[in-house]
């Protein structure tokens, strides 16, 4: 039985409430015995459920430190999904443990911090990956084979909802999963209520992401000959993400390339700058 530990800024948040059950469900689907077993949080959410109550609710053993949790757990999930600026601090003990670690989206506040996280993991032989669940949508896995090969797509356009700073990562994850790496610059043509960012690649590939409170997650995919596929919805994202995560915890092989995760962080960082300087090309960090 894989004993999985949660490290969080505070545990009273949406992901932490759902992950114990999703781990159990995935364990049954994958045939990999696993359960959420331990938890530690740096603080309690003001006015929310405290750590002791959270652990009692979900049958977890409360640890007195991240270091103790890293000693006990077989695999570790670092949460704080809306607070990537805390991930270096929260993940430090886990990334020194040598045990498989998943870091929840958004992985890091910028590319430099993302590189430091991967460097720390590498120095200690710790397998690690991070991803938005959108990468694992069933519809993307079932695309025609030619669209899943390198060079099969020339342009990707995606939509989705949410606050730009916190939710653009989901669309950039889709873009990078579909187009691969190599983006050079981004430009914002955003409005007061809608975020719109174009992504340029030196080889002629391109992408556009659009965020608005009312937009569902969708994608339009175009081949080099102009033909394409419209993906009207994305489904089974968390089920399929955990079905990739548990084999990673059992075997240590990441389902997401490190280069993809770092490219997503570079896109997020550059796009936040681009939104603040509308209609101006902003180079991705590391590309100048």
Residue 3 sits at φ, ψ, to 5 deg, of -100, 115
Is domain 134-236+268-283 classified as CATH 3.40.50.150?
no
| CATH 3.40.50.720 is held by the domain 2-131 | yes
Cβ–Cβ contacts within 10 Å for residue 221, how many?
Answer: 23
Mean pLDDT on 256-284: 97
**CA-to-CA dists, residue 101 to 23, 78, 131, 183, 189, angstroms:** 15, 7, 12, 27, 37
Average per-residue pLDDT in the chain?
96
pLDDT tens sequence across 139-151: 999 999 999 888 8
Residue 223 carries which DSSP code? -
pLDDT at 230 > cutoff 60? yes
Number of residues that this document lists for the chain: 288
pLDDT of residue 1: 96
CATH 3.30.360.10 domain extents, the chain: 134-236+268-283
Mean pLDDT, residues 182-205 taken together: 96
pTM for this predicted structure = 0.96
223: pLDDT strictly greater than 50: yes
CA atoms lying within 13 Å on the CB side of residue 284: 22
Contacts of 51 (CB under 8 A, 6+ apart): 10, 11, 39, 40, 41, 44, 62
According to CATH, where is 3.40.50.720 located in the chain? 2-131
Residue 287's pLDDT is 57
Q: Which of 153, 152, 176, 141 is nearest to 262 (CA)?
A: 176
- Over 80: is that where the pLDDT of 268 sits? yes
**Rg over CA atoms, the chain:** 19
pLDDT value at residue 288: 45
Query: pLDDT tens, 56-110?
Result: 999 999 999 999 999 999 999 999 999 999 999 999 999 999 999 999 999 999 9
């Amino acid at each position: 039985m894989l004993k999985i530990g949660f490290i969080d800024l505070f545990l009273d948040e949406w992901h932490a409430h759902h992950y114990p059950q999703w781990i159990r469900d995935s364990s049954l689907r994958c045939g990999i015995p696993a359960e959420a077993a331990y938890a530690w949080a740096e603080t309690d959410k003001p006015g929310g459920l405290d750590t002791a109550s959270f652990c009692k609710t979900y049958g977890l053993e409360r640890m007195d430190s991240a270091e103790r949790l890293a000693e006990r757990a077989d695999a570790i999930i670092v949460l704080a999904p809306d607070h990537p600026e805390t991930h270096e601090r929260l993940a430090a003990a886990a990334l020194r443990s040598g045990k498989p670690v998943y870091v929840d989206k958004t992985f890091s506040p910028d590319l430099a911090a993302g590189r430091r996280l991967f460097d720390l993991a590498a120095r200690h032989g710790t397998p690690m990956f991070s991803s938005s669940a959108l990468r694992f949508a069933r519809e993307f896995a079932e695309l025609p084979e030619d669209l899943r090969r390198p060079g099969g797509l020339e342009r990707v356009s995606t939509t989705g909802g949410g606050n730009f700073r916190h939710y653009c990562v989901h669309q950039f994850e889709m873009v990078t999963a579909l187009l691969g790496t190599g983006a050079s610059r981004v430009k914002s043509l955003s409005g007061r209520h809608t975020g719109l960012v174009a992504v340029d690649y030196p080889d002629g590939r391109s992408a556009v992401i659009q965020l608005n409170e009312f937009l569902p997650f969708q994608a339009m995919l175009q081949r080099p000959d102009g033909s394409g596929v419209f993906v009207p919805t994305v489904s089974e994202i968390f089920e399929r993400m955990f079905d990739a995560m548990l084999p990673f915890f059992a075997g240590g092989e990441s389902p997401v390339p490190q280069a993809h995760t770092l490219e997503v962080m570079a896109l997020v960082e550059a796009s936040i700058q681009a939104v603040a300087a509308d209609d101006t090309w902003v180079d991705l960090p590391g590309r100048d």
